[in-house]
Amino acid sequence: MCGISGYYSFTPKGKEQLQHIDASVAALALRGPDGSGIFKHNSVALGHARLSIIDVSNAASQPFTDETGRWTMVFNGEFFNFQEHREALEKAGQTFRSTSDTEVLLYLYIREKEACLHKINGFFAFAVYDNQTEELFIARDRYGERPLLIAQTEDGIAFASEMKSLLTFDWPRNLDNEAARQYFHLNYIPGPESIFNSVKKLQPGTWMRLNGSKIEQKSWYNFPPAPTKQDISIDYTSSQKELIKLLDAAVERRLISDVPLGAFLSGGIDSSVVVALASRHTNHLNTFSIGYKDEPLFDETKYARLVVDRYKTNHTVFSLSNEDLFKHLHDVLDYIDEPFADSSALAVYILSKETRKHVTVALSGDGADELFGGYRKHSAEWKMRQGGLAASTVKLLGPVWNALPKSRNSKLGDIARKLQKFSEGANLSTPERYWRWCGYSDEAYLNELWAGPFNQQKGQEYKRNHLSSIGTTGDMNDMLRSDMLLVLPGDMLTKVDMMSMANSLEVRAPFLDVEVVDFAMRLPADYKISGAGRKRLVQDAFRSMLPEELYNRPKHGFEVPLLSWFRNELNSCIFGELLSPQVLKEQGLFHLSAIEKLKKQLHSSDPGDSAAKIWALIVFQSWWKKRMK
């Protein structure tokens, strides 16, 4: 895992941008603390910041140039099946000077060009430059595990793993108002949009080729189509066995490392499955959990301990108080370089920071919820589609739920919040319901909040693109597909990449192995979610490997105690500084009345999602103060 950056100039003026390559690499120092390198040739500059994982010797340093001197690569990621391709290349006469996956990928690309992408089992963002044709090829992995941002002007194209690196080059810093407004619904900005008009995220499964002023961009990977009844060739029992086989191989592949390796263990099903399988292939696996002293509702360390006891792992628990969380709040805000308000990023940051003191690589259970239907919104959608008395009753009692106090920080308040959201979704179309349940607000709130410029047509186009998969199959598979396209790369993978890289830690997700994903996408929806529960296939396939206590218990994501902080420790900072009337008037992006309404709701007995909405504003204002003033 590393960081990459580069510039490809179209004009003489664009060539002046090459001088910024050193600063762009320096901005990626936390992604790559083990070394850095620069390559320049005519109109192109490439940069690399290295986190050494496979072949830690200098022979594997980047930018990496082939033996002829014609081709140069910068690569961020892992190519897990590189050994089999190395052997094939050696049989064809290729020699190697390192034992790295980078060198194998470069020679595979030289021989097969973009066709090589289909042979990579792993995650990546890379660029290869041909100094004879002066062509630059850029590609991103299938699911968006590794980021790649691109800023385009008439003088050239800059690319980088992070916005802070991209900002070292010159391009217009104009706010994408429609993307910003979208952020206040989702609490993140999904690709291809970014917070700036001039910057786009290269979409997962996409490549770009630059030659002179010619730009070509294509999608190289698409998810397999959801099955029809006639397509289903595997029964439920057989699918459990196949999932165990595929996921076991995926875990084994991800244990390849020349540096210390471990696994996150939350106490949930997904990370426990990964630990159970990893324990087959390595003795005394290092595992890491976070415990929450002040939030017993969200503390799952007792469940993690059951898995530890069964598999005899070397376990470390980081037991945190709310004060510990609060202490790292500003570290997270400082690292974020595009508004991103998933508050659980704070927990991921601390987990990564503490884990990095012991290992350089950690396995995780990321991706399982999106693939197999593990979220509460999946249960809600399934119940909505089934209809029946319970769903009708919840819908009819909408006024009751509206009247009840709602909060994420208490059991009863959270139940009322979910029932209210369910009843609200019942009155919407399937695409609109999905959009509402993915976010924290509705259109009315956004209209109340946003005072800046807004192009309604452009905003609706963004939204339509993100909802394009809803309704294509007529069953729950289209919702899961939409999560893989929207939520996974936009929120979950962004969070893990950003917070782990802030601590120079590589995170690998076996559930996102291409063979596992393609298998899961071809399964019928009721193998994943039904009246038997969420994530049905995963739960049943691995039941014999996991402690029974992990089943039939509430699923908890960690809720940072925002409500308490905003009412107390952070109150003056928020409303006296970041959201003060003077700041808001100068900025001209928000209606003061909406901020005042949120403040009143925050301090009421019915706070609802006000804390999450205020957190989105805090993150945005913190970002604005750093980047736009």
Q: Which residues are catalytic?
A: 2
Angle, in degrees to the nearest 10, between helices 82-91 and 101-112: 60
Rounded CA gap, 29 and 385, in Å? 49
Tell me, what amino acid is at 572?
Answer: S
Rounded CA gap, 195 and 164, in Å? 13
Rounded CA gap, 619 and 614, in Å? 9
Q: Are 36 and 50 in contact (CB under 8 A)?
A: yes
Sign of CA dihedral 181, 178, 419, 524: negative
Rounded CA gap, 516 and 251, in Å? 11
Sign of CA dihedral 97, 101, 106, 107: positive
Neighbours of 444 (CB within 10 A): 8
Rounded CA gap, 613 and 440, in Å? 7
SS3 2: strand
Q: Is 516 left (phi over 0), alpha (psi -120 to 50) or beta?
A: alpha
Q: Which CA distances in Å does 321 have to 16, 290, 335?
A: 50, 10, 22
Q: And the tokens for 135? A: 């062509």
Task: For 187, list phi and psi in degrees, rounded to 5.
Answer: 75, 15
Give the burial class of 464: count Cβ atoms within 10 A of its Cβ; 0-12 exposed, 13-18 middle, 19 or more buried.
exposed
What stretches of 510-591 show up as alpha helix (H) in DSSP? Answer: 514-521, 536-541, 562-567, 571-573, 581-587
Q: Are 338 and 165 in contact (CB under 8 A)?
A: no
Q: And the tokens for 327? A: 């202490």
Q: Are 281 and 252 in contact (CB under 8 A)?
A: yes
SS3 string of 163-175? Answer: HHHHCCCCCCCCE
Give me the residue label for tokens 């959009």: 435
**Nearest by Cα to 529 from 370, 393, 387, 366:** 370
Full DSSP string of 289-356: EEEETT-GGG--HHHHHHHHHHHT-EEEEEEE-HHHHHHTHHHHHHH--S----TTHHHHHHHHHHHT
Rounded CA gap, 107 and 129, in Å? 13
Strand order in the sheet with 261-264: 314-320, 286-292, 261-264, 361-363, 506-508
Q: And the tokens for 119? A: 């042979």
Q: And the tokens for 25? A: 């690499």
SS3 49: strand
